[in-house]
Amino acid sequence: MDDTAPSAVLARQVRDQILFYPEPHQQDVLAIGEVVGQLELGGQYVGHYVDVIQPVKGCVAGWACHLNGDRMVVPQRGHDYALDEDDRKTWDAYLELTYPDDGPARVAAVCAPEGGRRIRAGDRAASLLELDRDESAWLFADERSRQEVLHALDLLGKGDRVAFSELVQQNSDGGQA
């Protein structure tokens, strides 16, 4: 067990965020927040900007990315990002995911501090917490209760990967956590 690994330290930070501030924990949304700035996209999208969000609610993955220092980004409402018709479908789907009910923006991507590249937030959080595909699917699931999340993050924060894997496996086999 290595409770000094960066993934364990981050797991404890996320656990403490959810434990001490339960209201902002909302497992069925990555992050919802207020716009606090903008960021220019790179590559073929130079000249296009995304809004940077300060989360006010988030799930385990969202809090992991935010507490790591990643910038939560969303496309600007009303901005046309499409470069061609193939691209239009992708951006339209991204906008619909981000603004499903004309309410506050829902984050689906983050810009990692090193290099500023845009990546799916769930993938980024799984990498930061050193989770495999099954583990991240279980921990980030919408239906995961706050108690299950806190117990799992406690195990990860202690560096007890074996117990965490057993918890995921037990639940995957139909058992209760």
pLDDT in tens, 125-135: 999 999 999 99
Domain interval for residue 160: 6-172
Q: Is residue 177 part of a domain?
A: no
Q: Is residue 1 part of a domain?
A: no
Q: Is residue 20 part of a domain?
A: yes
The pLDDT assigned to 163 comes to 96
Average pLDDT over residues 142-164: 96
Confidence of residue 174 (pLDDT cuts 50, 70, 90): low
pTM, rounded to two decimals: 0.83
Q: Is residue 33 part of a domain?
A: yes
What span, in angstroms and rounded, lies between the C-alpha atoms of 116 and 38? 13
Residue 109 pairs in a beta bridge with: 73, 120
pLDDT tens, 14-29? 999 999 999 999 998 8
Side chain identity at residue 13, one-letter code = Q
- pLDDT of 106 > 80? The answer is no
Q: Which of 122, 167, 123, 177 is nearest to 146 (CA)?
A: 177
Q: What percent of the chain has pLDDT over 90?
A: 46
The pLDDT assigned to 173 comes to 62
Confidence of residue 114 (pLDDT cuts 50, 70, 90): low
Q: How many domains does the chain have?
A: 1
Q: Is residue 140 part of a domain?
A: yes
Q: Which residue has the tokens 């992991």?
A: 64
Q: Which residue has the tokens 């409770």?
A: 3
Describe the crossing of helices 121-128 and 60-68 by its angle, rounded to 10 degrees.
Answer: 70
More confident residue, 37 or 23: 23
Q: Is residue 135 part of a domain?
A: yes
Confidence of residue 34 (pLDDT cuts 50, 70, 90): confident
Q: Is residue 147 part of a domain?
A: yes
The pLDDT assigned to 175 comes to 45
Q: Which of 162, 173, 158 is nearest to 11 (CA)?
A: 158
